[in-house]
Structure formats: structure tokens, C-alpha cells
Amino acid sequence: MVDHWFEPSAFLIAMMACIGAAAATVLGGLSVFSSKQPNPRILAFGLAFAGGAMVYVSLVEIFAKSQTAFIETFGTHNGYAFATLSFFVGIGLIMLIDHLIPNPHGELDKGSVASINSESERKYIANVGLLAALAITAHNFPEGMATFFATLDNPSIGTPLAIAIAVHNIPEGVSIAIPVFFATGSRAKAMLACTISAMAEPVGALLGYAILAPFLSQTVYGIIFGVIAGIMVFLAIDELLPAARRYAKGHETVYGIVTGMALLGMSLVLFKV
């Protein structure tokens, strides 16, 4: 391990970069303050936005990180094979959880403008929002490690990485806040959910520094990112997009998907390092 990784100044700079990137999730959550009352069409757009953003960032960015990590150890062909295997292991894990603890997809009738305020509908939205928040929070742990260690090793590399992560954390904050707000009617709870998710990044950095640093390897990173990509894609397809369609009256679902993908794609194009 590099000697300067133990210097307090280097540690503080790396941690500040990580916290700054994470704070952008809370910034995205402020979107709930533009919604005065629950509107099913806005909810449909927000859920589809979350689904599109999660699918895009999983397949384009997170899976690519898994592939890159494996390639460094196993070469191009085997690296892609192991990344693909990790991806489907993630899908298998979340499918197993879904089988053991099924969600009540069939217990509710097709949503309508009036039913969004019913107790059963609020519970349904809350469940979907919770799954989205958990998936995003899970991938924030290794993301926080990546930002922290990159900045710790070389701030000139870590800083633009932190900026890139901050930019695509903004739509992730939107993805978390909107369903929580519509489920609870509370902007405070929506912001709390965003804050908890954001905290995963500095917590992941601290865990990596204090506990995992001696064991981290490109193979471990490859497994983590591959599994998370699979989990996020499955949740988007199984939970977020059907829920969005449930409340849509027009083209809100497809517009939300495309907008979520576009904003994530734009952040990656502008700030790719």
C-alpha cells in the first residue's frame, strides 16, 4: 500500500471528495419540493425515470466497471465472461429473495387517479420506492470506495471521478425521493431516504479504508459491481417499470425511461474519466 495513504491530509481530501459526490444524491432529492400534491402521472414518470436511470447506469457503467476489473486479472475474454456471470448471479440472488419473500404484485387492481391515495396503493408505492432506494444504496458502497481510493492515490484522477459520480447521483436522488414522497406525503421522509442512501458512499469509503483495504482486489471489485448491476436491472424491470405503467395515463412511462437514461448518459458523456 502506498505510504501517503496513511497521511491525515490525504485522508481528509479523499473523504471530502467522497462526501461531496454523495451529497449530490440529496440535491436530487430536492425535486420533491416542486410537487405540491400527489399526481399519478408525475409518479408514473418518476418511477419510469428511476427505472430507466437504473437500467442505463447498470448496463453501461456498473457492468463496464465489473468487466474492466476482471479483465485486468483474467484477460479480455475471461474478464467479460466473469463479469457476465457476476451479473446473472446478482439477478439470481434477487430472484431468490423475491421467491422467498414475494411482493404482492397481484393483490392490487390497476391503479387510477383516485386510488393513489388509498392505503393499499401507498403501501405498494412505498415498497417499490424502498427497493429502489436499497438498490441504489447498495451500489453506493463500492462507488464510495472507488472515489475515496482514487482520490487518496491521486487527487488529479479522483477529483474528476468524484464530479462524474456527483452528476449522476443527482438523478439517483430523484429516483429515491419521488416514490417515497408519493407513498408517505412527507418531503422530510423523502429527503431522509436520500440522505441515508448518500451516506452509503462515505461509509463504504471508511469500511474500505479501515477493514477491507488489505483484501480488496480487482476480482473482488468485479464481483461486487457485476452482482449490483444484475440486481439493479432486475428491480427496475420487475418493480419500477410495472409500477410506472400502473399509474400512467399516456406516455409517461416511456418518456420517464428515456429521460432517466438520457440524463445518466449525458452525465457519463460529459464527465467520463
Give the pLDDT of residue 3: 47
In order of 91, 93, 103, 230, the CA distances from 100 in angstroms are 14, 11, 10, 18
Alpha helices in 75-154 (DSSP H): 76-100, 119-153
Distances (CA, A) of 224 to 20, 103, 141, 202, 227: 23, 25, 10, 17, 5
Angstrom distance (rounded) from CA 86 to CA 108: 34
273 residues of the chain, pLDDT tens digit each: 444 445 667 788 888 989 998 999 999 888 778 766 556 777 788 778 878 888 888 898 889 889 999 999 999 999 999 999 999 999 998 888 777 755 544 444 444 443 555 667 677 777 777 777 887 787 788 778 777 876 776 676 667 668 767 866 887 788 788 888 877 878 898 899 999 999 998 998 888 788 766 776 788 888 888 888 898 888 888 877 887 888 788 888 999 999 989 987 887 777 665
Task: Give the position of cell 476480482.
Answer: 219
Residue by residue, DSSP assigns 9-75 as HHHHHHHHHHHHHHHHHHHHHGGGGG--S--HHHHHHHHHHHHHHHHHIIIIIIHHHHHHHHHHHH-
From CA 248, how far away is CA 254, in angstroms rounded?
10
Q: What is the pLDDT of residue 101?
A: 59
pLDDT at 83: 96
CB atoms within 10 A of CB 9: 8
What is residue 7's predicted lDDT score, i.e. its pLDDT? 61
